[in-house]
């Protein structure tokens, strides 16, 4: 009984972190139809930045709160820069979607190898946010896992609030639903694209920082994250934020159970098998709509 609870809690914990990251991808796709192939590299960026400021490079840590602030700010501006220089110039062209993938692919290649060059091939560890463990439902859970879940869920809640209760958030939704209509009422779609993209980078980089104590930081980790976020987003329906959240938890649980019963190497296979199944039955995902 204990084992199952552990598995469930682990699934929830990872699921919430994945949810936060997948939501970013789904949001960007829904708003601007951009698929950021360097998403994983931004995840890793969060991890390495955290490592730098939490003692890895300078020897002494400046503490979590300050590091959070640095990671969020850095990722925000780098995200804005990426959108402005590597994606926006492409929009004028008919085949921009494919070109955007190529461009972000190049960026991923560049960033991943930059990390390798700067930080070396060995994985880095960073100290966890909270030490120790806690008793939940008759089993021991690492505080870190609880913290991850709690923080990720708060971020998602905050995002929901932003999208549905603030003027800027509604502008984002407007652009996602009808670009022309949004422009007619005066919304600057370029700004929305830029901020949404930057927001997604912040979310995924933040996730990188949150999960770093658990999974260590490596220049190769990003691809796994990209694929998982992608699977979750497609499963939930590209462009649907709620879909991404549902999908993340479902898939987080599936991953936890499959990992427990069959071993980690099978998880990816099972996830893809489910994805293929979904594509046959409902090609647009759980909550997605075409277009």
Indicate which single residue of 80, 90, 216, 286 sits in contact with another protein (rule: CB under 8 A): 90
Binder of another protein out of 59, 132, 135, 180 (CB under 8 A)? 180
The reply to whether 86 sits near another protein by the rule CB under 8 A is: yes
Is residue 279 near another protein by the rule CB under 8 A? yes
Q: Does 102 bind another protein (CB under 8 A)?
A: yes
Alpha-carbon 110 to chain mean position? 20
Q: Is 76 in the site for another protein (CB under 8 A)?
A: no
Beta bridge partners of 124: 217
Are the beta carbons of 212 and 196 closer than 8 angstroms? no
Is residue 97 a contact residue for another protein (CB under 8 A)? yes
The per-residue b/e assignment along 122-139, b for 16 or more CB within 10 angstroms, e otherwise, is ebbebebbbeeeeeeeeb
- Asked if 29 is part of the footprint of another protein (rule: CB under 8 A), the reply reads yes
**Does position 94 bind another protein by CB under 8 A?**
yes
Residue 97 CB-density burial (10 A; 0-12 exposed, 13-18 middle, 19+ buried): middle
Applying CB under 8 A, among 2, 58, 73, 106 the residue interacting with another protein is 106
Rg (CA), the chain: 19
Residues 6+ apart with CB under 8 A from 46: 71, 75, 204, 205, 206, 207, 208, 209, 212
User: Which of residues 117 and 150 has its CB atom nearest to another protein in the complex?
Assistant: 117
Q: Which of the 8 DSSP states describes residue 88?
A: G
Among 18, 35, 68, 193, binds another protein (CB under 8 A): 35
State the minimum distance, in angstroms, from the CB of residue 184 to another protein.
8
Only one of the segments 48-56, 67-75, 152-160, 274-282 lies at the binding site for another protein (rule: CB under 8 A); that segment is 274-282
193-222 positions binding another protein, by CB under 8 A: none
Is 178 near another protein (CB under 8 A)? Answer: no
Q: In terms of CB distance, is 34 or 72 closer to another protein?
A: 34
What's the CA gap between 16 and 148, in Å, rounded?
8
Sole binder of another protein in the list 9, 108, 159, 176 (CB under 8 A): 108
What gap in Å lies between CA 257 and CA 217, rounded to an integer?
24
Whole-angstrom Cα distance, residue 223 to residue 116? 14
Q: Please tell me what DSSP assigns to residue 140.
A: E
Nearer to another protein, 16 or 103 (CB): 103
Position of tokens 């005066």?
186
User: Which residues from 110-149 bind another protein, rule CB under 8 A?
Assistant: 110-114, 116-117
What does residue 81 show for φ and ψ, rounded to 5 degrees? -60, -45
In whole angstroms, the minimum distance from the beta carbon of 284 to another protein comes to 9
Q: Which residues bind another protein (CB under 8 A)?
A: 29, 35, 85-86, 89-90, 92-95, 97-99, 101-103, 105-114, 116-117, 180, 223, 227, 230-231, 234, 238, 265, 268-269, 272, 275-276, 279-280, 283, 290
């Amino acid at each position: 009984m204990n084992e199952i609870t552990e598995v469930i809690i682990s699934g929830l914990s990872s699921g919430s972190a994945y949810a936060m990251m997948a939501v970013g991808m789904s949001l960007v796709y829904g708003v601007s139809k951009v698929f950021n192939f360097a998403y994983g590299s931004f995840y890793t960026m969060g991890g390495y930045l955290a490592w730098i400021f939490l003692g890895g490079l300078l020897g002494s840590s400046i503490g979590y709160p300050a590091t959070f602030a640095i990671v969020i700010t850095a990722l925000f501006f780098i995200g804005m820069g990426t959108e402005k220089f590597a994606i926006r110039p492409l929009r004028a062209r008919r085949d921009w979607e494919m070109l955007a993938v190529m461009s972000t692919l190049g960026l991923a290649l560049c960033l991943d190898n930059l990390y390798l060059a700067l930080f070396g091939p060995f994985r880095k560890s960073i100290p966890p946010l909270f030490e120790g463990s806690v008793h939940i439902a008759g089993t021991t859970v690492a505080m870190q896992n609880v913290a991850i879940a709690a923080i990720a869920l708060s971020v998602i809640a905050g995002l929901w609030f932003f999208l549905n209760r603030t003027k800027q958030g509604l502008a984002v939704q407007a652009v996602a639903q009808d670009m022309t209509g949004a422009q007619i009422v005066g919304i600057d779609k370029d700004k929305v694209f830029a901020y949404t993209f930057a927001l997604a980078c912040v979310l995924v980089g933040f996730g990188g920082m949150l999960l770093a104590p658990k999974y260590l930081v490596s220049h190769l980790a990003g691809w796994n994250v990209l694929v998982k976020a992608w699977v979750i987003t497609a499963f939930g329906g590209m462009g649907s934020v709620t879909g991404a959240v549902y999908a993340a938890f479902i898939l987080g649980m599936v991953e936890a159970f499959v990992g427990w019963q069959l071993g980690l190497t099978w998880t990816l296979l099972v996830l893809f098998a489910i994805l293929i199944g979904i594509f046959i039955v409902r090609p647009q995902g759980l909550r997605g709509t075409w277009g």
